[in-house]
Amino acid sequence: MVAIGLYSSAPTVIHKHFSVYFFLLFFLSFWEYSNCQKLPKGISVNDLLNLIQLPRDEQQERGLLYTPREIAQQPETWRTTLDIFEREQERIRGFLDEAGVRGPVERRPVVFLVGAGTSNYIGQALELLLRQQWGCEVWACASTDLLPNMDQYVVPGQRYLWISFSRSGDSPEGVAVLERAAEHYPEISQLVVTCNPKARMIAACQKHARSCVVVLDDAVNDRSLVMTSSFTNMTVLGQCLAHAWSLEEYVPILQRLCAAGETILHDGDELAGKIAARRFGRACFVGAGPLAAIANESALKVLEMSAGRVKTMTETILGLRHGPMAILDKETLFLSLVSGEAQRQGYALDLLREIGTKHVAGERIAVGPASAAATIMPLCDVYLPIAADVADAYRGVVDVIFGQLLGLYTCMEHQLRPDAPSPDGVITRVVQAFSIYR
């Protein structure tokens, strides 16, 4: 049994500058190398930092120019996203008030969280938090489903607020959803969150009288094919939206998330490299509530970055027994995101126990709250603790970093280029244009 992170000396304080964080990581790398008896043999220390420090020419040749940096920068960029929200807070509040978010309950809008692929998982991760904080009906609605079925989704006379998430803001479905809504449903309030100030979705949004755009810092407009820091930063922006009128409650939560994010960049880095080296042929990710969305995104990262060479699937913790458990075998990596909330945690522990009893997984990994380590560790092969005392609704931006690291090292194990892991161009950074039917 290995508990990665319980012994770690990685700092959990909030660092003011990103460069300070990397200096400390470098120091810790040297310190732990000198005290290697504290680490399992064979695990290299701070591989992520080593990749970032490679000569630029080598980074370009190996396709490592962007992805490692974009994963590593996340805790620091979350603070920047909070700063952006604070600067725009009054404008955003005014828009949400006009959309009716704080109106009488019976007149509040139905909120759709719209996005494709990874951006759809942002909506799934935020759905329950926004529902709880705003007291509205909130639904994650994939733009890939909304576009061809819009007339069936829209109920005449119902008030709506659609919040679209998109890294590039150029997704064909996302643009088409806004354009069609402007033409047929101009009464719908539209909020667009993007990382690209030149996004086509911004231009499309301008056709709406009831619209608002929030653009995040250019640093999180990920240049890699896969979304990493753009995913977590748009999720953080969504958490800020949930607390638009109670931001003072959210700030200390984000501080704890940043500290935990910096810790998992260290502890999760070691573990992800070790697991990727085992070259599992398939992987199954499970979670419950908001963490189910993080399981989805983690599975997608491994699938994308291995160019499909590692087959992944994802399910809810209770849903896995209803047929999908058939995918598990001794060649399967099983990863459970364990809730910090008692009821959800109980279901996760029962599933870990059952899979262990049936011997249907090559390795069971649990990611969960550090406070529950003693309970969870006996039920898994490896436990990665999350050192953040926060609700599941917020924790996902930390947990997903491990999935991103696992995707990165799996990509490298398969001799692929992390910045562009699809050698035949099957997938691209922005989905290529296709016919839009009216």
SS (H, E, C) 41-100: CCCCCCHHHHHHCCCHHHHHHHCCCCHHHHHHCHHHHHHHHHHHHHHHHHHHHHHHHHHC
SS3 16: coil
Is 2-45+255-413's fold the same as 89-245's? Answer: yes
* Tens-level pLDDT at each residue, the chain (438 residues): 444 433 233 333 334 344 444 444 444 443 333 333 233 333 333 489 999 999 999 999 999 999 999 999 999 999 999 999 999 999 999 999 999 999 999 999 999 999 999 999 999 999 999 999 999 999 999 999 999 999 999 999 999 999 999 999 898 889 999 999 999 999 999 999 999 999 999 999 887 789 999 999 999 999 999 999 999 999 999 999 999 999 999 999 999 999 999 999 999 998 999 999 999 999 999 999 999 999 999 999 999 999 999 999 999 999 999 999 999 999 999 999 999 999 999 999 999 999 999 999 999 999 999 999 999 999 999 999 998 889 999 999 999 999 999 999 999 999 999 999 887 766 565 655 656 657
Distance of CA 294 to the CA centre of its chain: 6
Supply the pLDDT for residue 36: 32
pLDDT of residue 234: 98
Residue type, 301: K
pLDDT the model gives residue 430: 61
Give me the residue label for tokens 């039920």.
Answer: 379
What residue spans define the domains of the chain? 2-45+255-413, 89-245
End-to-end Cα distance, the chain? 57
**Alpha carbon of 140 to those of 16, 36, 126, 146, 165: distances in Å?**
34, 46, 8, 10, 11
Asked whether 284 and 406 are in contact (CB, 8 A), the reply is: no
Tell me what pLDDT residue 2 has. Answer: 40
Is residue 139 helix, strand or coil? strand
Superfamily in which the 89-245 domain is placed by CATH? Glucose-6-phosphate isomerase like protein; domain 1 (3.40.50.10490)
State the pLDDT at residue 332. Answer: 96
Is 177:41 a contact under the CB 8 Å cutoff? no
Residue type at 371 in one-letter notation:
S
What per-residue confidence (pLDDT) applies to 422?
Answer: 80
Predicted confidence at residue 437, as pLDDT, reads 59
Given this model, what pLDDT does residue 30 score? 39
Asked if CATH classification 2.102.10.10 holds for the domain at 2-45+255-413, the reply, yes or no, is no
